[in-house]
Amino acid sequence: MIRQHSTTPIAIGEVFNSVYDYTTLITEQLIDYVRMPLVHGGGITHIRRLADFAALHQVRTGFHGATDLSPVTMGAALHFDTWVPNFGIQEYMFHTDETDAVFPHDYALRNGRLHVGDTPGIGVDIDEKLAAKYPYSPRQLPIARLEDGTMWDW
């Protein structure tokens, strides 16, 4: 219904974890961009399969890049973006100065464009000594379903 009433490109899926979550959306061309983060989607192999499947239906990538995903995920996503033939757009949000210090990286935002560096691997390292100053404190998003299975807006 949204597709029929809008010319605005539709991107969905930052909480999807497999190609199967997208099957109907892609095959019926109900979306323009897949947004699954690499880290949630099983890594580069699985996300590659999703991107290939999406390309068959003229759907492009628009991967999730919020600050709840580390610079490691962003580095991997950017390298994937430079390869994938149906690249569309990459979401990017700045991390805190502390996060950037713990995860030094060579990707950079310049003039509205993300640039991948030439460091071997995905261009992201970790300063373990500095990371020790920030002990891990587990956090979870609220559960988006009630006990009876209905969805609710957390």
Q: How far apart are CA 135 and CA 6, in angstroms?
A: 46
CATH of the domain at 59: 3.20.20.120
Q: Domain of 33? A: 3-94
> Which pLDDT does position 116 carry in this prediction?
94
Q: How far apart are CA 43 and CA 22, in angstroms?
A: 16
> Which pLDDT does position 76 carry in this prediction?
94
Is residue 14 a part of any domain in this protein? yes
> Which pLDDT does position 143 carry in this prediction?
67
> Which pLDDT does position 41 carry in this prediction?
82
> Which pLDDT does position 2 carry in this prediction?
85
CA of residue 43 relative to chain centroid, distance? 11
C-alpha distance across the termini of the chain, in Å? 24
Per-10-residue mean pLDDT, the chain, length 154: 89 86 94 91 90 97 90 94 96 95 96 92 96 86 74 64
> Which pLDDT does position 14 carry in this prediction?
82
Identify the residue whose tokens are 């000594």: 129
Is residue 41 a part of any domain in this protein? yes
Number of domains in the chain: 1
Report the predicted TM-score, pTM, of the whole model to 2 decimal places.
Answer: 0.84
3-state secondary structure of 128: helix
